């Protein structure tokens, strides 16, 4: 799927993804994947439903869904490049993704965020209804250099 709006293209085409740009953002600017190796980013993209925002062949935004396309989808690695923030790209990206055929009729949509609750609430996300039913394993600083 692909849509063009103004000077931006929103697409789920893996061939358009600038893996180096995604890696650069995730490994240096994100709070959740600092130091992530390029090979892990490549593997994550290859095994996920990914979306990009492009302007003149430049990757300016990205999002990745880990999903079985039947019952569950986890939204992660969402970003808009700093110089493109504040012009509504994240809302348009969310709209594009939420209507994607592979994300329809699922039982659970899940994400984690530090500071974008307001954005995701506009698309139906809420705090966990039953946090006591959810568990996790978190490996702290998995990508940091070990001394």
Q: For 113-137, what is each residue's pLDDT tens digit?
A: 999 999 999 999 999 989 899 888 8
pLDDT at residue 147 tops 50: no
Distance of alpha carbon 109 from alpha carbon 126, whole angstroms: 10
Tens digit of pLDDT for each residue in 55-73? 998 999 999 999 999 999 9
Q: What average pLDDT does the segment 40-57 reach?
A: 96
**DSSP-assigned letter for residue 108:** E
Domains in the chain: ranges and CATH = 2-133 (3.40.630.30)
Distance of alpha carbon 74 from alpha carbon 52, whole angstroms: 16
Rounded to two decimals, the pTM is 0.90
pLDDT more than 70, % of the chain: 98
Distance of alpha carbon 36 from alpha carbon 25, whole angstroms: 10
Could you tell me where the DSSP H helices lie in the chain?
Answer: 19-28, 38-46, 89-98, 117-121
Half-sphere exposure of residue 121: CA atoms within 13 angstroms, side-chain side: 7
φ, ψ of residue 22 to 5 degrees: the values are -60, -45
User: Residue 5's pLDDT is what?
Assistant: 87
Distance of alpha carbon 66 from alpha carbon 68, whole angstroms: 7
Distance of alpha carbon 36 from alpha carbon 119, whole angstroms: 25
Distance of alpha carbon 101 from alpha carbon 92, whole angstroms: 16
The partner residues of 76 in beta bridges, in order of sequence, read 64
């Amino acid at each position: 799927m692909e849509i063009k709006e103004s000077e931006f293209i929103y697409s789920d085409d893996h061939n358009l993804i600038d893996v180096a740009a995604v890696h650069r953002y995730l490994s240096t600017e994100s709070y959740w994947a600092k130091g992530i190796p390029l090979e892990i980013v490549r593997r994550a993209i290859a095994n996920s439903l990914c979306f990009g925002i492009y302007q003149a062949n430049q990757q300016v935004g990205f999002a990745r869904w880990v999903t079985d396309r039947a019952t569950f989808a986890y939204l992660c690695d969402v970003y808009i490049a700093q110089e493109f923030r504040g012009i509504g790209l994240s809302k348009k990206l969310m709209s594009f993704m939420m209507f994607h055929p592979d994300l329809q009729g699922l039982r659970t949509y899940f994400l984690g965020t530090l500071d974008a609750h307001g954005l995701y609430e506009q698309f139906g996300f809420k705090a966990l209804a039953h946090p006591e039913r959810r568990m996790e394993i978190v490996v702290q600083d998995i990508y940091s250099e070990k001394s």
